[in-house]
Structure 1
Amino acid sequence: MATTLTVTHADNEVAAILNGVVVYDKKTEGNPPINDQVPLDPYLAAGLNVLAITGINWGGPATFSGAVTVGAVVTPFNFAAASTPNGMVFNQTFVIPH
């Protein structure tokens, strides 16, 4: 079953860690639209897998969005704020069976 991480916004930085391995890290400014797709299948272990997505902001507005697709099931993630302090402002965890 194909498993993919799609990131469409990352202002300022979004990282994805799957079972303790960084599988994605993107830094941007000005909230440009992106369409990054990361196949997660090579990183999946038998059983349950934990994918943590973390959004880091460097001050001002923050936007993090995308989706995790497992087979035909698409689960979106989304965070937006007009202003945040510097540091981690978003975190979402997904459990992926394999």
Structure 2
Amino acid sequence: MPQRSRSARSGSPPDQQGAGAGAALMHAVLGAADALGESVVVLLGHLDFYPRFGFVPAAELGIMPDVEAWATTHFQARTLSCYDADTKGMFRYAPPFYELG
């Protein structure tokens, strides 16, 4: 995989979920990533929420996380218009991601 990463953490407070803010944010992120020429977006997220935006288990695309336990749980990926099927390999978040807790 290319040696670059853009990281963000997002979510809606439980009392505001279902109002569409999370979906609007996801559409904005995907649009921005596509406009920037990114080929794929990966995330750790709820398996019932992100597939509606085209996310699949990242392993289906040959993208594996550096934390083995994530590979079969919440590690997902979505291809963008610049996607190349040769984009495979180990994904590592930027170091600050691991400090978020």
Same fold (TM > 0.5): no
Q: Give the TM-score, by structure 1 length.
A: 0.36
Task: Flag the structure with higher strand content.
Answer: 1
Q: Give the TM-score, by structure 2 length.
A: 0.36
Task: Flag the structure with higher helix content.
Answer: 2
